[in-house]
Chain A
Amino acid sequence: MRATPPLRLNASARVNPAPRGDTQDRPTSSHAPGQGVPALRAPAPAGRRETVLRAALSILVLAMIWGGLTGWRIDALIFGIPAILLAASLPFLLSRGASWRLSPRGALVFALWFAVQSVKGAVDVALRAFSPRMPLDPGFRSYELSLPEGAPRVMFINTITLLPGTLSADIIGDRVIIHMLDKRSDLDTALADLDARIRALFALAPNKEFHQ
Chain B
Amino acid sequence: MLELFAATLITLGTVFFIAGTVGLLRFPDIYCRLHALTKADGLGLALVALGVALLAATPGAALRIALIWFFIAVSSATCGHLIARHARLAEGGRHD
Contact = CB atoms under 8 A, between A and B. Distances in A.
B48 interface: no
B96 to A, nearest CB: 5
A68 B39 contact: no
A171 B50 CA distance: 34
Interface residue tally on A, bucketed by range: 35 or more
A191 to B, nearest CB: 15
What does DSSP make chain B's interface, helix, strand, loop or mixed? helix
B29 A126 contact: no
A136 B40 contact: no
Interface stretch (A29-37, A38-46, A80-88, A115-123): A115-123
Identify the interface centre among A3, A136, A161, A170: most chain B CB within 10 Å of its CB. Answer: A161
B28 A119 contact: no
A71 interface: yes
A142 B94 CA distance: 12
B35 A167 contact: yes
Nearest to B62: A68
Nearest to A13: B74
Interface string A163-191: 01101111110000101010000000000
6 contacts: A122-B39, A126-B15, A126-B19, A169-B85, A169-B88, A170-B88
Given A130-B19, A169-B87, 14 more contacts: A12-B71, A124-B39, A126-B23, A129-B23, A129-B26, A129-B36, A129-B40, A134-B27, A136-B28, A138-B28, A161-B80, A167-B38, A167-B80, A179-B35
